[in-house]
Chain A
């Protein structure tokens, strides 16, 4: 059982690509070997900046011979069919066998594949792998045509067993595989031969190459924490940076330095970001003060002066960088303290989208919307509007120009400075502040203090961007929530108004993330609001903006209004956007373990339908809608939205309520009573639906207990009365658990009824009365949730 060692030695592979390259190399080679009939005991892939390595243990020495029989066309089949079979099997006419089959004589191909030596297979698989390697970006070099991530210099490909090592014969674009490699570029540049993986790894270590990226990362982290500890500091954890740095070095040497006093006044985020982004330094924090006071840099080499020159150089570069940052910070503070006018005016020059205007236009819309949302989330309307007005000012700051990822973080610092020095803009607020007394201003709750809530406003500048991704938490401070919602809803309605919706995998404006952000803000804070109304208000503002940007009078031509892209925000847009939200909500809740059909049951209603004719129309529409769900039919989108909308509960735009209902229903269905009641409901509904279709009438005229025949039937009447009386107020009070408990009480009477009673009685009056009784079951159950949507 030989072991296989492959090393692809190249110029420096980008750190960010090494992880996937290891996985790809392992998968492509092992899949190829297995496909060709070899087996192996284990495989692991390793990498350094200059090499991609695969070690496979316990490979079979040769593949088994294979014999395959394939049945072909009849001997009477047309020539084309026979030729096709020959092509598919790679045989000639003479090699085919003719055998008797049930339907006459048929051609058979017998394909013999002899066993092959592992070396031959490895050479083939490795060449295919190298030529088709899925690098995110690859290149050519010199005069060759081979593509690799950077120039490929050598290939080591060795099969080793107890008899020794054998180079796998292989040449790709002039690079012949061999048994030798090189050590560290500067510390051990000479070539040397190896005989096995163990020999390879050991010799590399002597040649200053640590092959395993995990080992390098561990060493960096250990040395870094020790060095920091010795200086009374702690390293700020940063897994992404650790992986990256481990991918930049073959021989990690940790060096620690102190940050110059003059820079310690910078916000810690600025120090961290600057050091990380520009220098790939780890930050070291003083645990006593919380300040960032030192850094760790990882060199790729050992020097006679123990890194003194390297550290000095790095320190110098850092000082130059931090001087820039300090310059930006001081300039920015000056602008913030002077009222931010320079930035707020400057937002006019920042295009948000050429059809939706500038960031300043957008800020105006968001401020108005935030003011409207504020009371719904328990925020002060003036605070929310003020926060929205300044929340994006930092986009124009020098620091954010240099470090876009600090947007928001800087916004909060600058907002704090601004609020310290700038009086409130609202006239009401001005009186309050001027009086300096306890809060008595109009519209302000008693006890909420005189002026604005400075820290809430500043926090909103930072947090209105959030949640930034799925792993980011949701802000809870009401002013932040109001501005965050306004920001995202403006974005969504804006892009809906100019018809730039996400399609398929394309979502260039991250609208799915924006919708998920709204969903998480609403659910995470238990906010009760109606999206339709907000969509309308926000959508009309965006429409106005888009209209003024895109509609032009073309006087030179015909004098007619030309509209290259006609903006539109109408009831159909609201419906479509709501449907988009429901899709996102389903994805979100599915991740939380709530089934798709449970959400549908909470989202839709099957309305009582007053005529068989209408029922037929609706079922035809249903069929179309269902076809739409599976993408089989394409309808005009307005049609689709109408259908969708017609089936929604009116409160389906209240996400908190919707989820509350879905959660109660999911919990209910997990109980025995819930599961059984669902079966009882379905049985009642099926019998009723069939009868209604057969009779062409709808049984909804109210069943009369006087026609009830047995005890079970009378008990069902009584149980329905009780349930109805309990469910209606519970639903009114949004106590869904209570409503479902009341519904669950119907389980036993319904089961008993079906056990004892034949619905389709010969007595037509009794039959109709029973159908009307089933109809009451349906109505009562459907008032809680649309159980027809549930599977199983």
Chain B
């Protein structure tokens, strides 16, 4: 294999986009809401449900407030990028397709040790689970590879294959960088070379402070409850609108579920949720996710209505 080595973070992203576009995926854009992982994008969570075939790939900015380290930790960020691929039904050569994507970003399987190590995936907040592996390259976890079995409490028929790449970590490995903030974001030969730190060090500091010390917990709690109420209200609305059109509002309801999930993460980072309460909050978000999934499978995109 004679792929040239990529020189920047963005080149790795661009190569993945090109690769998966070439394999027939619809290259989507990030979802325009705060989410904890690429899985939350409705292109994964909702589209993994129902019988309609699907193939999508996208970058998803993701936020995990508790992982903030004020930009000081070489590997941890409260805001980072995931690359997500979802194909339904999972093709028989998904492992080979995945290995092709590694080759595309310069990981030559004849020089490296690539392994599929058991790691089953479960999202208590989404009521979802699947079986698969974490993929190791020379002892380093570079992706998560999952066959979805259940989402929102619904069995997946057919099964989707999901690939999640932790982009910063993968890119740091490919580019040989030890501290994320030193990673070239664009080409280092550019007229104005920018590192990851040039773009994100300050925001990591700002958000870390806000996440840990400043976020108004009373307000967050109220927002959580508002999102929860709105989600339920949307789903409880009559099946037909005032003009008599049958429109189930699964996506707007799911947006509220995403909001609730992120608000919970913020509350968690502020340390105001006790161990016992934690389970209760997760259960509340899961209940919303299940209701959204119930609604989605009755829609056309969810395969519930003959197109």
Please give the residue numbers on chain A whose beta carbons come within 8 Å of chain B beta carbons, in ascending order. 11-12, 14-16, 49, 137-144, 149-151, 153, 186, 248-249, 279, 297, 299-301, 303-305, 307, 309-310, 312-314, 316-318, 320, 323, 349-351, 354
Contact = CB atoms under 8 A, between A and B. Distances in A.
B164 interface: no
Contacts of B75: 320
Nearest to B76: A324
A342 B118 CA distance: 37
Interface string B47-90: 00000000000000000000000000011000000000000011
Contacts of B116: 11-12, 49
Given A14-B118, A297-B139, A303 B110 contact: yes
B208 interface: no
Contacts of B158: 142-144
Given A139-B147, A139-B159, A15 B118 contact: yes
B111 A16 contact: no
Given A140-B159, A301-B113, A350 B137 contact: no
Interface of B: 74-75, 89-92, 95, 109-118, 120, 130-133, 137-140, 147, 149, 156-159, 161, 173, 178, 274-276
A662 B89 CA distance: 66
Nearest to A312: B138
Q: Which of B131, B147, B178 has the most CB of A within 10 A?
A: B131
Contacts of A249: 115
B159 A142 contact: yes
Contacts of A323: 74
Contacts of B133: 12
25 contacts: A12-B116, A137-B120, A138-B131, A139-B149, A139-B159, A140-B157, A140-B159, A141-B89, A142-B91, A143-B157, A149-B131, A151-B147, A186-B109, A300-B113, A301-B109, A301-B113, A303-B112, A309-B112, A309-B138, A310-B111, A310-B113, A310-B139, A314-B139, A314-B140, A351-B276
A354 B178 CA distance: 43
A313 B114 contact: no
Given A139-B130, A186-B114, A309-B111, A317 B140 contact: yes
B161 to A, nearest CB: 8
A351 B161 CA distance: 38
Interface hub of B139, B158, B275 (most chain A Cβ within 10 A): B139
Contacts of B147: 139-141, 150-151
A230 to B, nearest CB: 22
A459 B111 CA distance: 47
B119 to A, nearest CB: 9
Contacts of A350: 275
B71 to A, nearest CB: 16
Contact of A139 (B74, B112, B131, B138): B131
A314 B136 CA distance: 10
B247 to A, nearest CB: 29
A320 B118 CA distance: 22
B90 A142 contact: yes
Contacts of B157: 140, 143
Q: Name the residue in A12, A248, A249, A318 with the highest tally of chain B Cβ atoms < 10 Å from its Cβ.
A: A12
Centre residue among B113, B137, B149 by max chain A CB count within 10 A: B113
Contacts of A313: 112-113, 137-140, 173
A317 B139 contact: yes
A17 to B, nearest CB: 8
A320 B140 CA distance: 10
B159 A351 contact: no
B139 A279 contact: yes
A151 B140 contact: no
A248 B116 CA distance: 8
A139 B130 CA distance: 8
A138 B130 CA distance: 10
A141 B159 contact: yes
Contact of A310 (B91, B112, B132, B178): B112
A248 B74 contact: no
B131 A137 contact: yes
A153 B92 contact: yes
Contacts of A279: 139
A351 to B, nearest CB: 5
Nearest to A327: B73
Contacts of B275: 349-351
Contacts of A303: 110-113
Contacts of A15: 118
A248 B115 contact: yes
A354 B276 contact: yes
A570 B276 CA distance: 29
Contacts of A16: 118
Given A137-B120, A310-B138, A304 B110 contact: yes
Given A143-B89, A303-B110, A323-B74, 20 more contacts: A16-B118, A141-B89, A142-B89, A142-B92, A142-B158, A143-B157, A150-B131, A150-B132, A151-B92, A248-B117, A249-B115, A299-B113, A300-B115, A313-B137, A313-B138, A314-B140, A349-B274, A351-B275, A351-B276, A354-B276
B118 A317 contact: no
A86 B91 CA distance: 48
Nearest to A147: B149
A190 to B, nearest CB: 13
With most chain B CB atoms within 10 A of its CB, the pick from A137, A142, A320, A349 is: A142
Given A12-B133, A309-B111, A317 B138 contact: yes
Nearest to B137: A313
A14, A140, A248: which has the most chain B beta carbons within 10 Å? A140
B149 to A, nearest CB: 6
For the complex of A and B, the 7 pairs showing the least CB-CB separation, nearest first, are A313-B138, A14-B118, A12-B116, A143-B158, A314-B139, A299-B113, A143-B89
Nearest to B87: A142
Nearest to A279: B139
Nearest to A302: B110
Contacts of B149: 139-140
Nearest to B130: A139
Contacts of B120: 137
B121 to A, nearest CB: 11
A14 B147 CA distance: 14
Nearest to A297: B139
A640 to B, nearest CB: 34
A141 B92 CA distance: 8
A310 B111 CA distance: 7
A318 B136 CA distance: 13
Contacts of B274: 349, 351
A314 B111 contact: no
B291 to A, nearest CB: 25
Nearest to A13: B118
A307 B113 CA distance: 9
A140 B147 CA distance: 8
Contacts of B114: 186
A303 B138 CA distance: 12
Nearest to B139: A314
A143 B87 CA distance: 12
A350 B278 CA distance: 13
Nearest to B138: A313
Contact of A305 (B91, B111, B138): B111
B181 to A, nearest CB: 15
A141 B157 CA distance: 9
Nearest to B276: A354
A189 to B, nearest CB: 9
A142 B139 CA distance: 29
Contacts of A301: 109, 113
B7 to A, nearest CB: 19
A144 B161 CA distance: 13
Nearest to A309: B111
A597 B13 CA distance: 73
B115 A141 contact: no
A4 to B, nearest CB: 27
| Residue in B75, B158, B276 whose Cβ sees the most chain A Cβ within 10 Å | B158
A433 B156 CA distance: 69
Contacts of B139: 279, 297, 310, 313-314, 317-318
